[in-house]
A and B are shown apart, each in its own frame.
Chain A
């Protein structure tokens, strides 16, 4: 499709979230001459939304997963007595490559680290990188989308072409190119992912802005002599933040996906011995074939669980947003 439809163009399985759902005709009570207080009114709407969320099993499940991972990232020591770089010793001797057992719930890896501890400690890097990158991408993409969507014209045309060009290459390939070019530090990785996500965010926000800019309140603002900055940031922006928030959750999911892939390919930064799901999976997956599945399968499951959690939350938010 060549128009600005909301069809996601990149390899973004979570993009489907944004696909149109039939709108539920939820009658929002309107106050006319009936005496309803405005603020209770709004609270009511919010409360209904919250209840809708809390009643959705998908949201509850996703949110619980997220809470657990966030806790792991914040205070890993609550969950495990082993450090991420500490080999499990039983009676003083190391026990590398043993399967799940009482003193190592998820078994131990190639050098005898506790896989469970690695999983717990691995939540932090992926969350930090993915969330930061997604936030940056959404912030920048929203600004860019706002600008080009509002001004249109040749800038839009050019930016649109560049976006389309960038979107025609899988993010992971571009990331590989950039990271091998610029070297891999945490900052470079975060910025790379952020920059590579900007086109999608821009496109999403831009089409939302295009729809908004056609509305008469924008015309009205221009007619009373508001400058462009005001119209963009005060009039339009608040109306596209909903879109941006959903986009943010979706992007976080996809950023985790990307971070994990890059780590898996060994393209991540920092101490290579630090716990990191993608890298641990990359380091250990060759042992699967010798039947030592635990050191690879648990990080794989951790990645899967986290992305599922984020996507369930994103999906529920999107649904509630639309209803």
Chain B
């Protein structure tokens, strides 16, 4: 498949001077003896000092591209054509020795999951120093350099960190270390493959700040891969949108995100809740179908099966590269028809939220005992759910969100003293002790559908069992109900006889939701139900949840890390920190009025696709261990508005700022309204012992 060099690409200048120039790369993985195409004619360039982002659904070939850029490919990878030039040299043709030099001094890579990326058996110092030893430094020099390197990535106490083992450091800290190692050879090319996936938004923000600073400092070219389009927008000059191993659109990041010129890009962008859109405004855009499997022959437009604009032309002819100006191009036959892709209308305009609390938690605490000491994971939580309401629960990792959910569900039994009532009647603390009515009333949607569904059961069995167990419906009636339920979840009857393994992630999550609704529950707890899913799938699931709620008048406890999602779906939002609710209020209020300093920091940490760049309030240091929380206000150690002498002594009470909007803070509304001054002072990552 030869493609004429598109004008838009030719614009970008000489590939021999580019920091990285991937040219017509064709790559396949051999699976069971058959080479299966993964990358199709991938072409892009990154100039020195430029940051290039690569986005696309999971499995579209982003990582493969990244690895190809450094020629670190699995044994079964077959390069079927093309070249990868770094400063004009084809790295695919390098000798092993040259490749080693290239990797040690010219290019580096940082990837997801820093914990796995470090050798668990060696001290940090040794691993960092090794990078310098390769460059020819002596052992002691290298150790010196290692200390400097850690200082460079803003680690506060490098000497101590050098003496640690990886498992003794937090993920954020480790990612800094990995970045430090990547920078050791002053590389001209830095490949970052989802460097912040799996990190908290606050930590992510810090790491991204760091990368941004370092980029300025080193002038390295960057290839950044991320699922989070906001991250790409805030970090990258240009972006390439990849689908099924092919780049379908490329251009200036802001331009592409503001004016996508490919149906796929547009679909991706519309699928994420953005610009403060709420469920009452409109449903989310969904991309039907799935990414084709690798090796699927795609002779025409790769996106044709899922494209709303697809017509016969798309099915017969390879779309050309269409430049739309300023290095922005798209591979689409129908750029002119982009406007036909419109955002969906509001399906539900009126949400009917009751006033009575279906479930009420009063002074619920949960203390774990671990290695002899107490870990108070929940501290005196008061919370109520109205009928048909979505309560969003946010907070950093480890703040106690899941514990709260599990306590509510009766998986953990709370400390004595607190009560959980269902429609005014107190429930037993353990699920197994609860009466059938309570069991039916609360159900759960889990984060990972793979784990949540029994692999050996068919969908039908999963649903039917839950149905018959929780309700009086039995026999043929149950079968009928199961089919109805499936239909309501937009599962086809065919799916009912499949096992989870045969379903895609999105379908699995639908089954999980169907199960959660089988008993006609009053409250459904959703613990990050979409974080394992691609945005296109996430949108469908969120729509589904919203519709179901409207139909069934169910309350949701919706736990998420994604502020955009919570803003879209939640009616009220509660913010947790160290097992305490720090702030709670209706969504509108939360995003329009003053917030608790912690909320303030959390919200500012989120990079937005819409580019409304705000001042980020750094959340320094690590979250303290719940085992020994700070005195006074538990947040005072990281608070940017801390009042010396008060906050570290006295624990603030909940104060009501406006009806239904409460915060746990000493500060007044006036004090909170003063904008914070962001000092340019480096935010150092400290080692919390």
Contact = CB atoms under 8 A, between A and B. Distances in A.
Interface of A: 25-33, 35, 37-39, 41-42, 215-217, 219-226, 235, 238-239
29 contacts: A25-B31, A27-B294, A29-B293, A30-B290, A31-B503, A32-B289, A32-B290, A32-B506, A33-B290, A33-B492, A41-B498, A42-B502, A216-B446, A216-B451, A216-B452, A217-B453, A219-B446, A220-B452, A220-B515, A221-B454, A222-B432, A223-B410, A223-B431, A223-B439, A224-B465, A224-B469, A224-B519, A225-B470, A239-B455
Given A215-B451, A220-B452, A239-B454, A225 B432 contact: yes
Given A222-B411, A224-B466, A239-B455, A31 B502 contact: yes
A28 B502 contact: yes
Nearest to A217: B454
Nearest to A219: B411
A205 to B, nearest CB: 16
B448 interface: yes
A28 B519 CA distance: 32
A25 B454 CA distance: 21
A26 B31 CA distance: 7
Nearest to B500: A217
A27 B293 contact: yes
Interface residues on B, range: 35 or more
Given A30-B502, A216-B451, 12 more contacts: A27-B31, A27-B293, A27-B294, A30-B503, A31-B495, A38-B498, A215-B452, A219-B446, A220-B446, A222-B432, A223-B409, A224-B465
Contacts of B341: none
Contacts of B473: none
Interface string B463-506: 00110011000000000000000000000101101110111101
A220 B516 CA distance: 9
A28 B431 contact: no
Interface string B316-348: 000000000000000000000000000000000
A223 B445 CA distance: 11
A207 to B, nearest CB: 17
Nearest to A241: B456
Q: Which of A41, A217, A235 has the most CB of B within 10 A?
A: A217
Contact of A224 (B289, B439, B456): B439
Interface in B549-603: none
B288 interface: yes
Contacts of A25: 31
Contacts of B492: 33
B469 A32 contact: no
Given A220-B446, A223-B410, A226-B469, A38 B502 contact: yes
B105 interface: no
A238 B289 contact: no
A225 B436 contact: yes
A223 B444 contact: yes
Contact of A225 (B288, B431, B499, B506): B431
A13 to B, nearest CB: 27
Nearest to A24: B31
B494 A28 contact: no
B89 interface: no
A235 B454 contact: yes
Nearest to B527: A216
B32 interface: yes
Contacts of A225: 431-432, 434, 436, 439, 469-470
B502 A223 contact: no
A161 B188 CA distance: 56
B24 interface: no
B443 interface: yes
A238 B456 contact: yes
Nearest to B430: A222
A33 B442 CA distance: 31
A223 B465 CA distance: 13
A217 B451 contact: yes
B375 interface: no
A30 B519 CA distance: 28
A37 B496 CA distance: 11
Contacts of A30: 290, 502-504
B507 interface: yes
Nearest to A215: B451
Q: Which of A27, A41, A224 has the most CB of B within 10 A?
A: A224
A245 B23 CA distance: 50
B434 to A, nearest CB: 8
Interface string B491-535: 010110111011110110000000100010000000000000000
A77 to B, nearest CB: 44
Contacts of A224: 439, 443, 465-466, 469-470, 519
A217 B31 contact: no
Contacts of B453: 217
Nearest to B518: A224
The 5 closest A-B pairs by CB, nearest first: A238-B456, A216-B452, A216-B446, A215-B451, A217-B454
Interface string B208-237: 000000000000000000000000000000
A226 B503 CA distance: 25
A33 B469 CA distance: 30
Contacts of A221: 454
A33 B492 CA distance: 9
A300 B515 CA distance: 58
Nearest to A214: B451
Contacts of B293: 27, 29
A276 B174 CA distance: 62
B507 A26 contact: no
A41 B454 contact: no
Contacts of A217: 451-454
Contacts of A220: 444, 446, 452, 515
A55 to B, nearest CB: 10
B404 to A, nearest CB: 15
Contacts of B431: 222-223, 225
B504 A32 contact: yes
Nearest to A240: B456
A220 B439 CA distance: 11
B467 to A, nearest CB: 10
A289 to B, nearest CB: 50
Nearest to B456: A238
B32 A26 contact: yes
Contacts of A219: 411, 444, 446
A39 B494 CA distance: 10
Contacts of A27: 31, 293-294
A239 B456 contact: yes
A11 B446 CA distance: 42
A25 B501 CA distance: 14
A223 B289 CA distance: 32
A37 B494 CA distance: 7
A124 B365 CA distance: 64
Nearest to B32: A26
A3 to B, nearest CB: 14
Contacts of B470: 224-225
A132 B495 CA distance: 40
B310 to A, nearest CB: 15
A181 to B, nearest CB: 42
A208 B478 CA distance: 33
A294 B294 CA distance: 58
Interface in B409-430: 409-411
A32 B456 contact: no
Given A33-B288, A239-B454, A28 B469 contact: no
A215 B447 CA distance: 11
B443 A223 contact: yes
A220 to B, nearest CB: 6
A35 B290 CA distance: 13
Interface in B638-672: none
A103 to B, nearest CB: 50
A245 B507 CA distance: 30
A86 B518 CA distance: 71
B515 A28 contact: no
Contacts of A38: 494-495, 497-498, 502
